[in-house]
Every structure is written in C-alpha cells, then in structure tokens.
Structure 1
C-alpha cells in the first residue's frame, strides 16, 4: 500500500480491503464461484477469496485450500451472506489442511521452499502455494500429517518456518 492510498483511506474513514487470492486452486473447474472469508479479526480489512462449486443457491463446496481461513477445509460446504462472505460451515468434509509459513528473511528460505515442494510433490498430496512463502496441503480423511510433520520439525526448530494443522 502506498502512502497516498493509506492517507486517502484514513481521511475518508474507509478501510482498505486486502484480498488473498488462490492462483492455482486444486479444485479449479469451469463452473467455479468465488466467495470471501472475512479475516478482519486478524487484520482489519483483510479477506481470503475462496474458490467454490455452487451446490444450491445458498450452499457452496470449497474447491481450494485456505491459507489463512480457520475452520474451513477442502470440500467443506458453506453458506454465504448477501455480500458473498462465508456465513457458516454447514457440512464438514473430513479433510484437514496442513499449513506452512516460511520465515521471509530466514537465510535458508529458498532451500526450505525447494525441499518442501519436493516432499509434498513426492507425497502425492494436493497442495497450493501463495507467493512461494505459504503452503497449504490437503489431508484427506484417513491421512495423517505425521510424515510431513517429521520433515517440518527440524526447520521449525531452527526458526525457518511455522506450521499447523486445521480441520
């Protein structure tokens, strides 16, 4: 954000909206429908754009791996409000999301990215990257995070990354 944009927003009382997008969602299809998840409890004015498949006029199945939205995983079914913001999770899919955030200024960041990318590809698990720094990995029902957790523990101990599992 440049200063003039921030100053203009401050003078008008508006909140700038930052939207996190998914360049390559794992469930991309010809009939995707975009909805937003409100992230303002973590950062004022932030939203995450979620790719979905519309099931009914009011129900949508998540077709991506959320990077920052907690409590929503791949194939969960959600409802939205009149502003296209997620209002509720109405059906859980049983999928979990393993999230990794590489530390931006860590001296081994590029090597960690390459190593993680190779391990995730070798695992055969669907995954998405955001700006080469944030990784979301789909853990379908019955798949544990243990093999990847073992790989992540060393880099986490040296301060190279943070990771979590969400369901």
Structure 2
C-alpha cells in the first residue's frame, strides 16, 4: 500500500510473509535509488544474539535487500546498513496500465503458489517474489513472458543495485 502525506510517499507491507509477534518496523529512504520523497516501511525481527535485525518482508523498492537479510536499525527506526546476506533474491514485477486482454496476473499467482514461493503484492499491479533458489523460477518466468515481450509487464532483480542508506 502507498500513502502520500505532506509530499512524502510511504510504501508499507500490509501482509509481510514472515509476520511475527516480535516484529519491528523501520524505514528505508528510497532517495538513493532514484525515488526521492519515498520511504519504504520494512518489517524486521531482532536476532536473539542482538547482532542486528532480520528482514521479514519482501522489499518492493529498496535495492540490495531480500527476505532474511540482516540489517542495522538506528534509534530513529531507519535501516542504516546491510550486515549479512541471506542468499535469497527478490524478483519484482510491475504490470502496466491499461491491462491487455490477456492478463497474466492470475497465472503468475498460480505459478508462485505452485512453486511454493512467497510473494507480496503492493496493490494489484506490483509483486515482489522471494527467490530462495533460482531453479524454482521457470514457471514464474513462463507465466509472464508474453506480457514482458509485449511490454505490458516489467521485471527487475532487487540486487541489481547495492543497498545504500542516506
């Protein structure tokens, strides 16, 4: 979900895939990723060792972060740095408007579920998919290939750029 308040757009995760009773929320400023005036709210879980926080949602916009990565959270509740990679990746797909007559969102949902993958939707046109193993992804790619070729859907890997904080 996205909400704009006083010129700042906040992106939140309504249903984080690893929701837990002891979660924290921290903001990531998206300006270093060419999205000035936007903040993404990430769900985190404090590690028992106290050595950082584990990312418990699948980032929609922040680059260089994935589910299970370990980050440092500041006292002002911002993500300051990445200190440990989980080995997972995030595939993000954006469906353009207007929608074509052959809309692959339903096929994508089925492919994600059939492969046992986790995904989070931001609205009904943007999905972030947790990729623990690239070998599971072929049905996902196949489900949206036609739209990607027709430029009615676009994809990217979240690790195409490194994480940076302001």
**Larger relative contact order (CA 8 Å, sep ≥ 6):** 2
What is the match of residue 62 of structure 1? 55
Which residues of 2 match residues 16-165 of structure 1 at below 5 A?
Answer: 16-41=7-32, 42-55=34-47, 59-108=52-101, 111-141=103-133, 143-165=135-157
* Consecutive aligned runs of 4 or more in structure 1 exceeding 6 Å deviation: none
Residue deviations 1:1-29 (CA, integer Å, cap 9, x gap) = xxxx99xx6xxxxxx22110011110001
TM-score, structure 2 normalization? 0.83
Whether the aligned pair in 2 keeps the contact of 1:38 and 1:48 (CA below 8 Å) is yes
TM-score, structure 1 normalization? 0.82
1:31: Cα distance to partner? 0.9
| Residues 77 and 145 (structure 1), Cα distance of their counterparts in 2 relative to 1, 3 Å cut | same
Task: Work out the CA distance in 1 between the residues paired with 2:58 and 2:14.
Answer: 11
Whether the aligned pair in 1 keeps the contact of 2:70 and 2:84 (CA below 8 Å) is yes
Residue deviations 1:73-128 (CA, integer Å, cap 9, x gap) = 0000001233211111000000011111010223347x322221122112210111
